[in-house]
Each structure stands twice: as structure tokens, then as C-alpha cells.
């Protein structure tokens, strides 16, 4: 967990990276740690989503089957182009090949087509947070 928190420090830099996140609605209401912890987590997510360099959008349950159900992945844009990372329980796999990284970027875009807009996503997160007893 300490590693994950240290990686988040990059978002606090003077010139932080742009971050676009698509989250499945189902990961937002799985009761992990109890209601107080869940409310704090959702509140933190909303606070991060207020930053000008961070976009958080939720893929609602009623989107049905979509490519995001195949598992988590990341696409990083670096000076040389896009690089992907496909996550797995044992650590994942780097995707440096341009064609494969482009396909991950296209997959991200297609998932985004079924995601809620930013403000609707924030309203949904607030509603879930308020519903935590």
C-alpha cells in the first residue's frame, strides 16, 4: 500500500500529468472496510476529480457487456508515444509495442462511449456515498 500511495505523489507535482479514469460502477459500491471507509474513499475520489488535470467517469451497470469487463489496463502517453500496461493478479504486463498500445487506447475510447459524462459520474458517486449507512 505504501508503494501505491507514493505513486500518487506524482499527482501533486507543480506540473502533474493528465489522468483520465473510467471506473465501473460496480467497483464503487463493493463494501470494503465498512461504510465509513467507503464514504472516505468516495469523498477522496470526488476531491481528486475536481482537479483540472483529472477526469473521472463511471461506466454504469446498465451499460451491459463492454470491453472494460475484460479487465483493467492503463495507457500512458510518453514522449515516444503510447505505452500500455495490462493488469493481472501477479503484476501485469507492459505493452510497449505501438500497435498494441494504440489498440488499448482505442479500447479505452470505446469504453468511454458507454461511460457517463463527468458531471453525471460525480452525481452518481455522491449518491453512492450518501447511501452508505
- Residue 74 within any structural domain of the chain: yes
Each residue's pLDDT tens digit in the chain (133 positions)?
677 777 888 888 899 999 999 999 999 988 889 999 999 999 999 999 999 999 999 999 999 888 888 899 999 998 889 999 999 988 899 999 999 999 999 999 999 999 999 999 999 999 999 988 7
Whether residue 98 sits in one domain with residue 76: yes
Taking the model in full, what pTM does it have?
Answer: 0.89
Assess if residue 8 is contained within a domain.
Answer: no
Structural domain tally of the chain?
A: 2
Residue 11 lies in a domain: no
Separation between Cα atoms, residue 103 and residue 123, nearest integer Å: 31
Residue span of the structural domain in which 85 resides:
65-113
Residues 3-12: contacts with CB under 8 Å, at least 24 apart: 11/48, 11/51, 11/53, 11/54
Q: Are residues 103 and 74 in the same domain?
A: yes
Whether 109 and 122 share a structural domain: no
Question: In this structure, is residue 10 part of a structural domain?
Answer: no
With both helix axes pointing from N to C terminus, report the angle between 118-130 and 35-49 in degrees, rounded to the nearest 10. Answer: 160
Amino acid at each position: 500500500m505504501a508503494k501505491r500511495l507514493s505513486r500518487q505523489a506524482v499527482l501533486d507535482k507543480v506540473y502533474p500529468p493528465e489522468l483520465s479514469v473510467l471506473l465501473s460502477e460496480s467497483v464503487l459500491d463493493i463494501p470494503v472496510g465498512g461504510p465509513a471507509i467507503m464514504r472516505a474513499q468516495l469523498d477522496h475520489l470526488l476531491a481528486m476529480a475536481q482537479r483540472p488535470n483529472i477526469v473521472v467517469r463511471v461506466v454504469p451497470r446498465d451499460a451491459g457487456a463492454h470491453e472494460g469487463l475484460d479487465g483493467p489496463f492503463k495507457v500512458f502517453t510518453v514522449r515516444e508515444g503510447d505505452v500500455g500496461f495490462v493488469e493481472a493478479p501477479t503484476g501485469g504486463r507492459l505493452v510497449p509495442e505501438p500497435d498494441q498500445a494504440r489498440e488499448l487506447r482505442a479500447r479505452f475510447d470505446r469504453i468511454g462511449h458507454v461511460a457517463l459524462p463527468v458531471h453525471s459520474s460525480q452525481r452518481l458517486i455522491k449518491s453512492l456515498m450518501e447511501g452508505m449507512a
